[in-house]
Amino acid sequence: MDSAPIRVAIVEDQPLFRDLLKESLDQDENLEVAFAAGSVTEARAQMKISEVDVALLDVDLPDGNGIGLGVSLRRDCPAIGIVLLSANDELDLLLSLPDDVRRGWSYLSKSSTADLSILITAIQSSRRGITMLDPTLVGNSAPKPQGDLSKLTKKQFQVLAAVARGLGNQAIADEMGLSLNSIVNHLTAIYAALGIQDGANARVSAVLNFLENTTRTPR
C-alpha cells in the first residue's frame, strides 16, 4: 500500500472554517493539505489536479457549487476522491451524480468534521473509491416502506448502514460482534436482495441504494 500522504485540496468559502479544516488535517502525518481556496473560480484557476488525491468541497460556494466542481475534477482526473461538505442535510445530492463519476464521493455535514476521525475516514474512503455517508445522518435513517431495503432483515440493514458509514468488513464484524465470514455472507445476501452484482463497485451501489431507499428523521 502506498505510504505517501494523501494530498488534500480544500474549497470552502468561509475563511475560518477553511483554516480549521487545514489545521485539523495538518495534525495527521498521513495527510497533506496541498491546496486551499474559497471559490470555484480560484480552484479551477490555481489547483494543480495532478497534485491532489482528494478534494474537500463545500456544496454551496459563492460562484458555483461543490457538485459541479467535483464532477469536472473527476472527469479531468478519474482517480480523485471527492468529499462534499454542507451545513444542511443535502445528502440526496449524491443521487444526482452522473453514472460515470459516482465512485469515490463521500458526504459529511460540517458539524461532523469536528470529529477528526470521521473526517479522516471520509478522506480515506474517497481515496479508495468508496462512498461514505455522514454517520449521524445514517444513524437517523430508516427503510422506506415497500422500498428495496424492506427486503432486508434487521441485521442485514445494520450491516448495510455500517457500510454506508465507510466501515470495512473487519470493522463491521468487530462492531457487531460477528465473524468476518458472517459479514461477508450478509453482504452477499444484501447484494442479491438488492439486485447488485458483486464486484469492485458493489459497495458504492449498495450505499447509493441505501441513500435512495431510506428516510431520515430530523436531528
DSSP secondary structure of 89-137: --GGGGGGS-GGG-TTEEEEEGGGGGSHHHHHHHHHHHHTT-----HHH
Q: Do the bridges between strand 141-143 and strand 214-216 make them parallel or antiparallel, or are there none, so unpaired?
A: antiparallel
Dist CA 31 CA 10 (whole Å):
12
* Per-residue pLDDT reduced to its tens digit, 147-204: 899 999 999 999 999 999 999 999 999 999 999 999 999 999 999 999 998 876 899 8
Distance, CA of 149 to chain centre: 20
Per-residue b or e along 42-56, where b marks 16 or more CB atoms closer than 10 Å to that residue's CB: bbbeebebeebbbbb
Cell numbers representing residue 134 in the block: 455522514
User: 61 exposed, middle or buried (CB, 10 Å; 0-12, 13-18, 19+)?
Assistant: buried
Q: How confident is the model at residue 1 (pLDDT cuts 50, 70, 90)?
A: very low
Q: How confident is the model at residue 216 (pLDDT cuts 50, 70, 90)?
A: confident
Dist CA 187 CA 194 (whole Å):
10
Mean of pLDDT values over 112-137: 93
Domains, the chain: 6-132 (3.40.50.2300), 138-216 (1.10.10.10)
